[in-house]
Chains A and B, each alone.
Chain A
């Protein structure tokens, strides 16, 4: 396997750095149900790391552990080598982690622009009163943040819907807006919960391209959960495979593809 500290170059010339986040023997229980059982893996700087597995394997729970939303009963999460204490969501965001959700969580009545602007919240220092007056510092601050947001809108090619209320958008575009909002926070680690769920082939291709571009252009580390095996294998540098809360495989897409446990979990085992 990989050396823990060294960085290396991928085939297509991207630099994968040191470990940024490490899961050590994570176990997560909901009452008597064990959602995650003794799982360890790491995420390296600049890589696209996928977590895959059949329904109910515990993928979303895992993502919620990474994001700090769930605190595991056993095991520890090391972020930049330090043990991470339980945190509130805004503290997580300030650490440079942003996410999207499996079932879109945007503000339906607000325009795309306003939705994406909410992603800048952590960069805004002025208070409600100042913003309402829209003078001096508040105006300057909004202009600066708007500039960042506009670059993201341009990057994700959603200029045409800038002023459209989110409720009126089709599903695939809503997903893209969610990604835009997450990017607006300028995260170092981006968590994507099934970014391609429910999309048609063309939308999936678009989304894949955007994910690769984000990683390439901004150097953002990406951890994603996905059902679509084809997409995952094309996209990721390394893949963790989960089944019934346990880790059954971990490695490059090729290694995972040839892993017998993974094949069994996905294709089923014959009982004769």
Chain B
């Protein structure tokens, strides 16, 4: 039975909650796979019918543990079917699932659990249970903790600790007593009851709990699925943090709406192998993943035989010329098509297969701007990679790129049912069925973000291109500034250009209110380490490699090349980088320098490394600094370093006189 037929059959407007969609899937797609997880080297799979049974048993078990409607149930762990089931089981009993970033430290976790007053926690393994146990004295509401993987937990005090399987068993055994209650509670779920609460990582301040209703999630999932014509036959790999709205929509919302299968990797380290084995048809990744894969391909090609290298570069050049046009359905000459077909046979096909993109129909990147060269690389291979622009408060979708209208420099047209307006300061506002209900226990923030008519301020500056109707993002509104001479300062624009170089993992540009721009650079250890190995450069640590004179020289050449490119943009030519420093440590979420989703927290970096910035501006050659670092387990340490500050050549723009160094 086809997807659309199924929905017309039962009426699209009748599924008012995720558990209701589950019920439909268990009937309509009963024997189709709903979940797969690789365990013990084999892909274990569950059909929708089996999934419904698993969720049912857990929901009943939760009732025996005394879960009340409106309770918050925190879910912490890596992507596993059992944790996705936990979310739907929580919804089934009228509770609110709150997925939490599994790599948060105990402090962060304590804040979130305390803020929502979580009564129950469902944790993936011992690591997560340990964190909860550590902070349990601060959590007055916490009643029970359920864990999935029993390993190492046998000796723990089990008064308030329960194995997942056991809760399910209890549920199955108690079906006669609490089954009726479950049915009643499920029936009470409405389009406006809370579907999930997601904490935004936030580049500033404390995380905020975004409350999303069933309407938000189901409408958004439905619109986006129809936009890309997704069916129950899609395969997705869910590896992105479960606490992130993107994963919630792709791996839960859209999966339940369409009835497609969610595949969970064996462990975070095996993600790339699992990606290849699954070959998803619908894929979502932040730019970092695509950048990392491209870097890996390029490094590995250097080890390939001469012939292979020549073929690779020859056909890649051809793909660059016509690949994107073919994908967009634009006219391409017959001989070029033939050559592309040959290239596909010899290079693109095998390469896509190695990357795990052999079957991809629709791929999205979002979260950050992607380097145009990286974007075009994937598209030229025939991978339909598109961009979308969204945020947690919009249940992801604000704008998306329709097939055939994909460009690296825009983020597409408003998604179905989304209205967009740009205010006089250039900030983007939207209104849509996905617009969030509220920030939990934070009426003030809710009011300042969402106005009475439902318009939400995104905090991003952008404009709608008149010729195409596509939205272009300039930068975070609060990051866009002015240089001392009044020229526009848009750090992200320059940073993205820098980050295209495989050697550069992260860049932070400063210059707001100043006469010149300077930059922090993080080297990419994989790429630079590989280069060092090839050039017989010995190094003992990240810090040593980052400070190596030849590394600095290479980075300088990248910075100067970026300056040339930036100088060509009249509006932004003032953003050229005059001096830079290669940092002695990677910016890290544990130190609060980037968010858990990998966005730079500009203010924090600026404060933390104020001494280095000062040195960049006062012209000194070197700076000695001491930085506090937090280890994964929460312990603190410090690293000291003497960093070289490097001058870079800048271009004089035509319209602006730039004082050359």
Contacts of A154 on B, CB cut-off 8 Å? 39-40
Contacts of A250 on B, CB cut-off 8 Å? none
Evaluate contact between B151 and A150: CB separation under 8 angstroms: no
Partner of B152, one of A146, A159, A160, A213: A213
A24 close to chain B: CB less than 8 A: no
Q: Which residue of B lies closest to A205 (CB)?
A: B633
Count how many pairs of residues, one from A and one from B, have CB atoms less than 8 Å apart in the complex.
34
Contacts of B41 on A, CB cut-off 8 Å? 146, 150, 153, 159, 162
Partner of A160, one of B40, B42, B151, B267: B267
A91 close to chain B: CB less than 8 A: no
Minimal beta-carbon separation of B154 from chain A (angstroms): 7
CA gap between A105 and B174 in the complex, in Å: 53
Contacts of A157 on B, CB cut-off 8 Å? 267
Evaluate contact between A12 and B155: CB separation under 8 angstroms: yes
B266 close to chain A: CB less than 8 A: yes
Minimal beta-carbon separation of B504 from chain A (angstroms): 26
Contact with B along A42-57 (1 / 0, CB 8 A): 0000000000000000
CA gap between A153 and B270 in the complex, in Å: 13
Contacts of B267 on A, CB cut-off 8 Å? 157, 159-160
Evaluate contact between A159 and B155: CB separation under 8 angstroms: no
Interface centre among A13, A147, A160, A216, by most chain B C-beta atoms within 10 angstroms, is: A160
Contact with A along B260-296 (1 / 0, CB 8 A): 0000001101100100000000000000000000000
A151 close to chain B: CB less than 8 A: yes
Contacts of A150 on B, CB cut-off 8 Å? 40-42
Minimal beta-carbon separation of B277 from chain A (angstroms): 12
CA gap between A258 and B42 in the complex, in Å: 51
CA gap between A12 and B40 in the complex, in Å: 30
Contacts of A162 on B, CB cut-off 8 Å? 41
Contacts of B154 on A, CB cut-off 8 Å? 216-217
Evaluate contact between B40 and A155: CB separation under 8 angstroms: no
Contacts of A155 on B, CB cut-off 8 Å? 151
8 Å CB interface, B535-567 against A: none
Evaluate contact between B269 and A159: CB separation under 8 angstroms: yes
Contacts of A147 on B, CB cut-off 8 Å? 40
Evaluate contact between B151 and A13: CB separation under 8 angstroms: no
CA gap between A252 and B439 in the complex, in Å: 55
Q: Which residue of B lies closest to A157 (CB)?
A: B267
Q: How many of A's residues come within 8 Å of B, CB to CB?
A: 17
8 Å CB interface, B504-536 against A: none
Minimal beta-carbon separation of A140 from chain B (angstroms): 16
Minimal beta-carbon separation of B111 from chain A (angstroms): 27
CA gap between A150 and B266 in the complex, in Å: 12
CA gap between A24 and B439 in the complex, in Å: 72
Contacts of B155 on A, CB cut-off 8 Å? 12-14, 216
Evaluate contact between B40 and A217: CB separation under 8 angstroms: no
CA gap between A154 and B42 in the complex, in Å: 12
Contacts of B39 on A, CB cut-off 8 Å? 154
CA gap between A216 and B126 in the complex, in Å: 14
Minimal beta-carbon separation of B234 from chain A (angstroms): 25
Evaluate contact between B151 and A159: CB separation under 8 angstroms: no
Minimal beta-carbon separation of B276 from chain A (angstroms): 12
Evaluate contact between B40 and A216: CB separation under 8 angstroms: no
8 Å CB interface, B14-73 against A: 39-42
8 Å CB interface, A12-27 against B: 12-14
Contacts of A151 on B, CB cut-off 8 Å? 40
Minimal beta-carbon separation of A208 from chain B (angstroms): 12
Contact with A along B150-172 (1 / 0, CB 8 A): 01101100000000000000000
Q: Which residue of A lies closest to B269 (CB)?
A: A160
Partner of B270, one of A14, A146, A159, A216: A159
CA gap between A156 and B122 in the complex, in Å: 23
CA gap between A230 and B152 in the complex, in Å: 22
Contacts of A14 on B, CB cut-off 8 Å? 155
Q: Which residue of B lies closest to A14 (CB)?
A: B155
Partner of B273, one of A12, A13, A160: A160
CA gap between A155 and B154 in the complex, in Å: 15
CA gap between A157 and B154 in the complex, in Å: 19
Q: Which residue of A lies closest to B149 (CB)?
A: A154
CA gap between A146 and B270 in the complex, in Å: 19
Given contacts A160-B269, A160-B273, A217-B151, 18 further A-B contacts (CB under 8 A): A12-B155, A147-B40, A150-B42, A151-B40, A153-B41, A154-B39, A154-B40, A157-B267, A159-B41, A159-B266, A159-B270, A160-B266, A160-B270, A162-B41, A213-B152, A216-B152, A216-B155, A217-B154
| Chain A to chain B contacts (Cβ below 8 Å), 22 pairs | A13-B155, A14-B155, A146-B41, A147-B40, A150-B40, A150-B41, A150-B42, A151-B40, A153-B40, A154-B39, A154-B40, A155-B151, A157-B267, A159-B270, A160-B266, A160-B270, A160-B273, A213-B151, A216-B152, A216-B154, A217-B151, A217-B154
